[in-house]
Amino acid sequence: MAEPAMSVTPYWELTFDADGDVDRAERDRLLAEVAGRHVRDLVVFAHGWNEDRSAATRIYSRFFAPFPELTPGARIGYVGVIWPSMRFSDEPIPDFPRALAAEPTRGPALDKDTRHALLESFPGRAPVVEQIGRLLEQQPGEEAELAEFGRLVRLLVEVVAPGPQALFAADTVAEGVPQDEPAMFTRPTAEVCGEFTGALAGTEGFGLPNPWDGAHELLRQAAYYAMKRRAGTVGERGLGRVVGELAAAVPGVRVHLVGHSFGARLVSFALRGLPDGVRAVASVTLLQGAFSHYAFASRLPYDPRAGGVLQGQQHRVDGPVVCCHSRHDTALGTFYPLASRMAGDAQGAVEEFGVGQLLGVKWGAMGYDGVQAVPGTRAMTLAEALRGPLPASGCVNVDAAAVVCHGGPPAGAHGDILHPELARVVAAAGRIARPAA
């Protein structure tokens, strides 16, 4: 049965750990009940920035609520993916009232909500988190203390023991070029913090430069990359395998993958984890995807040696890959380029282009301007997508700025996804039911 707070039934949850291992009891229940209930269409949603199950469940309940009316008579089921992600306190949970979401804290100090999120997301690292918090609070003036801060940040986000997660979460790869560690781990911490401080001064309205503002941003971006690589691991090693098992157990089931923010990266990497020959994924819908707009490209416009880490994976979908994007998403319009800069992908780009222009040059996010450099990609407004029909295959960019437009700094509209229009896009992409004109 659905949980009391859930708006639809049948509803299941799939919980994955940081290495992509699934809760076997939940998986076995899903496989058995999807078959027993004769479900034909299964909508699977992966959240982005959250650190607890209740937040994710609330998002799923709100997003799934329009589906029964949109898909009358359809044999449809719903899955909420639970994976260990985190957010900083000034990054919104979609549509949460301010009383339920942490109040943002200005300045470099580590607020209690972010401290708690770090402790939950990086178990066994409590002493490191406490030392990081102490340095951010005290803001010592010595460069050696900034260097110590950088060492602690690296220690925090490294994988504790050898495992399936690579340190570098690349979205584009170059032939014959090794994937180096992010520049924050190899360059002097004071230099990196100074560059972050300068960039933030132009985007956040800070006053006198304070390198500890840059240090706080360094911590955010390090956590960002840890969650980014984790999303890819959970998608490829976890969700992709479960979809394969589902296809074997319930032949004919049509799976519709939906993801928000890093959840969009998770469901996209699930395509890489599908067993050979599996064609159960009938559609993919990416909501404000927090990964490179070149991820599906076979060749990058600025480097013929390089391509996207997901190149060609759209062909594993028996339907379209729909990317909903919005220019009002300042988290992806500003902070995503900063994250790419931290990885070393944008070396010297702040000086050459300025942060505000980084996006349109090389390091744009899919949720800001859509899939890029994939031949045949269709571009549609939200109104056109809702009138339909959507293309039956390939990549489709849907400009959702008409509804994904609410939210203040620093994230803008990144979390503004709980709209019935976006549920209609999912239904249309999967041919679950044709949306009303």
* Separation CA 260–CA 14 (nearest Å): 16
Burial tier of 379 (Cβ tally within 10 Å: 0-12, 13-18, 19+): middle
314 near 321, Cβ under 8 Å?
yes
Supply 366's token pair: 């899919």
Question: DSSP E strands: which ranges in 178-304?
Answer: 254-260, 281-287
- Cis geometry, peptide bond prior to residue 410 (ω within 30 degrees of 0): yes
Q: What is the Cβ-side half-sphere exposure of residue 226, based on CA atoms within 13 angstroms?
A: 24
User: Which parts of the chain register pLDDT below 50?
Assistant: 1-4, 98-106, 159-168, 204-206, 345-360, 434-437
Q: Are strands 254-260 and 281-287 parallel, antiparallel or unpaired?
A: parallel
Q: What is the Cβ-side half-sphere exposure of residue 371, based on CA atoms within 13 angstroms?
A: 34
* Predicted local distance difference test score (pLDDT) of residue 98: 44
* Separation CA 42–CA 260 (nearest Å): 17
* Separation CA 166–CA 226 (nearest Å): 10
